[in-house]
Chains A and B, each alone.
Chain A
Amino acid sequence: MTPEALLSTFREAFGEKILSTRTVTHSVGRERHAVHNVWIEMGRETLHDAVAHLTSFSHLHLSVISGDDLGEAIAFNYHFAVGFGERFGEVVLTIRVVVPKGDLRLPTLTDLIPGALTSEREKQEFFGVVVEGIPDPRHLFLPQEATFHPWRKDEAAAIGRETRHLVDWETPHE
């Protein structure tokens, strides 16, 4: 699968709903072969349809969902591997969804990719986002009682209380 083909099926299916696209090509090895990363930004409401669209024509592997606290909003990057199974056949597709902090909700993808559960649980506990329809909302890594969200930049005070003296030089002694 080429990045152009991937992007054109997306444009065809979603048109105006695609907020932005970007293809980044890197060269690897002595022969300088090209490999591609595709970035697509979409709204939260189209995320589920976009993944359904992807699963309809290819085996889809969700590597992980990464989160990025932008201040007023949190960006979630869904990193997919599309077209694996043949040499140079794979494209890393990242679907970026920006969610405002006032309305931290995401749709679950577990109905399409059951393997997304681990990453969705992690995002819930580390960012405080509500994944709607998640089959197992428990914390994955943190204790069940933990109420803070370690990767939120606006919770620094609460996180600071929980992680004080991680290493001595990080937090000067009071």
Chain B
Amino acid sequence: MNNESQKITTPRQGKTYTIPIGPVHPALKEPIEFSFELDGERIVGVDIRPGYAHRGIEFMGMKRNLIQVLYLSERICGICSISHPLALTQAVENAAGIEVPPRAQYIRTIIGELERIQSHLLWAGVAAHELGFDTLLHLTWKVREKVMDLLEDLTGNRVDYAIPIFGGVRRDIPAAKGDLAHAVLRYYRDLLQGLMDAFLEDKSVEMRTRHVGALSRGDALRLCAVGPTARAAGVEKDVRQDMPYFAYADLEVRAITPRDFEQEPVGDVFDTIIVRLLEVAQSIEIVERALCEMPEGELVSIPKVAALLSFLKKAEGEGIGRHEAPRGEVFHYVRLEAGIEEPIVWKVKAPTYSNLMAWVPKFMGAEVADIPIIAASIDPCMCCMDRVHVADRSGRASIRMKEELIRLSREKTRRILG
């Protein structure tokens, strides 16, 4: 932190002290460093330092052919493992001018929405845990398993579904699997009211989340917030509504805000719970409709991978791909040059990247006890957003390369073994 003057602070009286949260802390599921300036239990300043999970994915991608990049993109994040490939395939299809058959567009939509259900339930559990409400964590994660099982049934994997390919999808959803999906969706439909009651009618959850980490509509717009974070603040922004793609163009998808729960949005943690739970209901509806209205036809426009690779090698142009991931807008930009297999430029923008700035107004004025739930409220995904970074005992930070890390770990093993 070599530029202390840049900390965002408000005028204050009395003595303040600094408390570090992270890079490793029980409130954080992934590494990021917060430095909070506290006046008693009240936060008067916050400095955010990401980068602890930076792996240089875009750099790696620019050294690989597009099919390899597709697999790499799937491994950007484990929770939104379909969101990045969906955005990447759109970007490349737009750049190279590849058409996607309608059935493939519907299958992409279905898997994308199932992922949303899975991700939002995961978040709800984490949020409950951050509040110290472990019962709710265990119950939500238990019911989440159903959709994980369904995803495994449909794609073969619990995560990293390997469904999209440039110009279509790699796997069909046959009628029998569709029935299975309908059964799981019915299960969630019956369960949802109970889940809503458990989160939204519970007095202790309300006490911990109402007016905590509020984000005004103005701030959400100014700070370019995306996804449920922005929608909880009353910004009706959802790529599926604003600029539909895939089956969302045929199905009427509307941005969900707390107004759908008959509440004026204040952008606090409670509102983000409302938005996410209502979006689970919305996703159930989208998947059910998509399953029923899915047209017959081809799955992929260029079925042979070798043909696809040579087509992509000849392609020239630039394209943008966007997908409304569970956490918000995922944005991929790709530029291709004829005769070169690798993308010349690959820029990935994950939702947490956009929501990073929204953390600051959310934290200001909050209490230490609110830190975990506010940190969790944007559903951060550091691995999406962010090389190895080591601080030695003197507090000096340095970059350590792979060989040196191996050398250091071998030394440590020898030291331990005596």
A touches B in complex, CB < 8 A: yes
* Chain A positions near chain B (C-beta within 8 angstroms): 24, 26, 28-31, 33, 35, 37, 59, 61-64, 66-68, 77, 79, 81, 83-92, 94, 113-119, 135-146, 150-151, 159, 162-167, 170
Q: Are B320 and A94 in contact (CB under 8 A)?
A: yes
Q: Are A141 and B51 in contact (CB under 8 A)?
A: yes
Chain A residues with Cβ below 8 Å from B344 are 68
Interface residues on B, range: 35 or more
**B residues 31-64 with Cβ under 8 Å of A?**
50-51, 54, 56, 58-60, 62-63
Q: Are B59 and A115 in contact (CB under 8 A)?
A: no
Q: Are B354 and A146 in contact (CB under 8 A)?
A: no
Contact of A115 among B2, B223, B250 (CB under 8 A): B223
Q: Are B222 and A164 in contact (CB under 8 A)?
A: no
Q: Are B222 and A84 in contact (CB under 8 A)?
A: no
* Chain B positions near chain A (C-beta within 8 angstroms): 1-3, 6, 50-51, 54, 56, 58-60, 62-63, 94, 102, 105-106, 221-226, 235-237, 239, 241-250, 252, 254-255, 293, 295, 320, 322, 329, 331, 333, 335, 344-345, 347, 349, 353-354, 356-357, 386-387, 389, 397-399, 401-403
Q: Are A143 and B56 in contact (CB under 8 A)?
A: no
Chain B residues with Cβ below 8 Å from A113 are 222, 224
Residue of A nearest to B317 (CB): A24
Q: Are B242 and A28 in contact (CB under 8 A)?
A: no
Q: Are B250 and A31 in contact (CB under 8 A)?
A: yes
Q: Are B329 and A162 in contact (CB under 8 A)?
A: no
Chain A residues with Cβ below 8 Å from B60 are 166-167
**A114-B223, A145-B399 in contact; A87/B242 too (CB < 8 A)?**
yes
**A30-B247, A137-B3, A162-B401 in contact; A86/B50 too (CB < 8 A)?**
no
Would you list the 10 A-B pairs with minimal beta carbon distance, nearest first?
A29-B249, A115-B224, A90-B242, A66-B347, A64-B349, A141-B51, A115-B223, A84-B242, A90-B243, A28-B249
Contact of A89 among B50, B242, B320, B357 (CB under 8 A): B242
Q: How far is the CA of A160 from the CA of B51 in the complex (A)?
A: 20
**A79-B320, A135-B6, A144-B2 in contact; A63/B56 too (CB < 8 A)?**
no
15 intermolecular pairs with C-beta atoms under 8 Å apart: A28-B105, A29-B102, A30-B295, A37-B94, A64-B349, A66-B345, A77-B333, A81-B242, A81-B329, A85-B235, A89-B242, A115-B357, A139-B51, A164-B403, A166-B56
